[in-house]
Structure 1
């Protein structure tokens, strides 16, 4: 039997996500100093051109100025409080981004959508590992980040159950450290996942460890373990 390692757990998670339709990218490849950069700096957590393309694709009747205004609003979320930032983004994500549009010489309010919730296949899903973020002099590298239309909506922290002190609790504590040191990544967070390779739990940005729960299917039964 192959030895269980953290890298093996990460690879299995990525393989599973690929079967669900995620495109895999090794994050250092699209880092600012990578062979195919998609970030201007390590402080940037949005895959900006992917988000810009998604906004254009999902809002084809919206003029370019309105689409760019929506993009700026997503980038401008900048309260000193992480939860306030996350709540502001959640409204943009679920309610759409309110913009102005010129029509017949008059300004009218419109909504730009960042994600198509009705037709999921119209969105772009990316799984990336080893995504380095540098913020306020702190450099951190979460294990796996899931992007939807260039938005880092999910962060997975993986531990090896065979290693001493590598538990769901330690994975949760690692996420807490990330939230404190690189909060910019978590402005756009929709879900956190922790796993020790034997068990996985999911929770919201503000959830305590006791509120992280096993993912359940539509009929209420836990999903079968896949690693």
Structure 2
């Protein structure tokens, strides 16, 4: 990898690795409001409703269409006073299904769960990476790459230009914090964030401080070869669809202590590897 690699080269490299993992790769224009894919109506929206609806339809064949519509609406229009508490509830829905009310022929109402992700059959899900995804919030922001599973934005990549001596990985971390303030709605669904300056690559939860962002060392659940670029290891390893869903289901914890704000803890690579 040349030391003259630029930020857009990093984005292209990441998208190529994601494509190798069978992600569909699109540009922000493709999924813009009024874009060619009809993915969303407004730049305020961060959930790609058509993709979410298709996934729920596919994963919940026994639920009536009214319940699926309600589930899509409940997820896509979700709001919370607290980003972390909202992320916690949304995580529970993504992991265990969205509660929806279903009425039978006799008029009896029951609460059932609409599955959002198929954790058993990885291929039953829709994996998408979007480059330069524009979101309107407190300000207009455009994360470098956003990864969607079944239309939900689960991972945000922030990459810094390796040739810029004034921009390093800590700047990428600070940019993520800015996004969390300015386009908070994007992070309601967030599993983790990835930051890199081309040399160093780290991932962390939405409450992690810079010091708690971690490297990833595994590809296909084995130690990555020596000398491989950290960002390639993180992308090919953790973003592998099967690994990502396994991580999402079993390696996330929310904690609250002594009335302090909740924190979100996600496993480091050796913790994940230790329980495989």
Is the TM-score greater than 0.5? yes
Q: Paired residue for 2:114?
A: 112
**184-193 or 32-41, larger mean C-alpha shift:** 32-41
Give deviations 1:86-131, integer Å, cap 9, x for gaps.
1111111112111122235222221101111111100000011010
Q: Paired residue for 2:93?
A: 92
**What does 1:154-193 correspond to in 2, within 5 Å?**
154-193=155-194
Where 1:28 maps in the other structure, the secondary structure is coil
Give deviations 1:127-154, integer Å, cap 9, x for gaps.
1101010113x10000000010100010
Distance 1:47 1:81 in 2: 22
Q: Paired residue for 1:65?
A: 66
Distance 1:117 1:216 in 2: 23
Q: Paired residue for 1:21?
A: 22
Q: Paired residue for 1:145?
A: 146
Distance 1:65 1:82 in 2: 28
Where 1:70 maps in the other structure, the secondary structure is helix
Distance 1:17 1:190 in 2: 17
Q: Paired residue for 1:133?
A: 135
Runs (4 or more) in structure 1 with deviation over 3 Å come to 218-224
Q: Paired residue for 1:211?
A: 212
Distance 1:95 1:29 in 2: 31
Distance 2:94 2:129 in 1: 19
Report the Cα offset of residue 82 of structure 1.
Answer: 1.1
CA RMSD of aligned residues (A): 1.8
Report the Cα offset of residue 24 of structure 1.
Answer: 0.7
Where 1:80 maps in the other structure, the secondary structure is coil
Report the Cα offset of residue 167 of structure 1.
Answer: 1.1
Where 1:30 maps in the other structure, the secondary structure is coil
Count of aligned pairs: 226
Distance 2:8 2:203 in 1: 20
Q: Which runs of 5+ in 2 are unaligned?
A: 234-276
Report the Cα offset of residue 75 of structure 1.
Answer: 2.4
The answer on whether the counterparts of 2:127 and 2:147 sit within 8 Å (CA) in structure 1 is: yes
**28-37 or 191-200, larger mean C-alpha shift:** 28-37
Q: Which runs of 5+ in 1 are unaligned?
A: none
Give deviations 1:144-190, integer Å, cap 9, x for gaps.
00010100010000012221122110000000000011101111111
Distance 2:146 2:16 in 1: 14
Note closer, same or farther for the CA distance 1:149–1:117 as it changes in structure 2 (3 Å cut).
same
Distance 1:76 1:147 in 2: 17
The answer on whether the counterparts of 1:157 and 1:193 sit within 8 Å (CA) in structure 2 is: yes
Q: Paired residue for 1:34?
A: 35
Q: Paired residue for 1:50?
A: 51
Distance 1:37 1:104 in 2: 35
